[in-house]
Copies of this chain bind each other. A is one copy, B any other.
Amino acid sequence: MSLHALNNLPGVTAVPDSATQHFVFNHTMLRVKDITRSLDFYTRVLGFSLVEKRDFPDAAFSLYFLALVDKTQIPEGDAARNQWMKAIPGILELTHNYGTENDEGFAYHNGNTEPRGFGHICVSVPDIHAACARFEELGVEFQKRLADGRMKSLAFIKDPDGYWVEIIQPTPVAGA
């Protein structure tokens, strides 16, 4: 669909209010059961960097902020890094409520069964065939492999809590 057509759909404000200038879609927050498993998945499997942690011991939870950036982009100083990570898009916030990792029956809801709402997050990769082959080697669980279903250009993997992570490639996918 053309940008002109998109700008004329019902509900769309085509020229944003100048009051929204420099607004940034900064982050998405997901609760996770076992923060060590989640940090392993997001840093080792997907390449995120942990850029901030905030502890709230009185309320028995901690917040972890991850960025999928080249390490050289991360400011050295703590104050500079904190300000930087609040001003860029693409931050993932993980909330860990203490003790859930020790409760065998505990599980978070991934939003894709009733009651539905949130659907997934998505990581874009330069080579989706290479990325999916690596996920297989690493033993990552798939919700939908490239070859599954009608959409041969995308895959879905699952994080340790069962949240869906869509994998796409910006350029046309060979064989799709």
Verify B29–A90 contact, CB threshold 8 A: no
A16 touches B71 (CB 8 A): yes
Q: Is the CB of A134 within 8 A of B26?
A: no
In this complex, the interface size class of chain A, counting residues with CB under 8 Å from chain B, is 35 or more
Whether A134 contacts B19 by the Cβ 8 Å rule is yes
- Please tell me how many copies of the chain the complex holds: 2
Cβ-defined contact, B122 with A170, below 8 A: no
What is the CA–CA distance of A119 and B171 in the complex, to the nearest angstrom?
31
Contact at B52–A12, with CB atoms within 8 Å? no
Query: Is A145 in the interface zone, CB < 8 Å from B?
Result: no
Contact digits for A1-36, partner B, Cβ 8 Å, 1 yes 0 no = 111001101111111110111111111111100011
Q: Would A31 and B117 count as touching, CB distance under 8 A?
A: yes
Interface residues of A in 158-174 (CB under 8 A from B): 161, 163, 166, 168-171
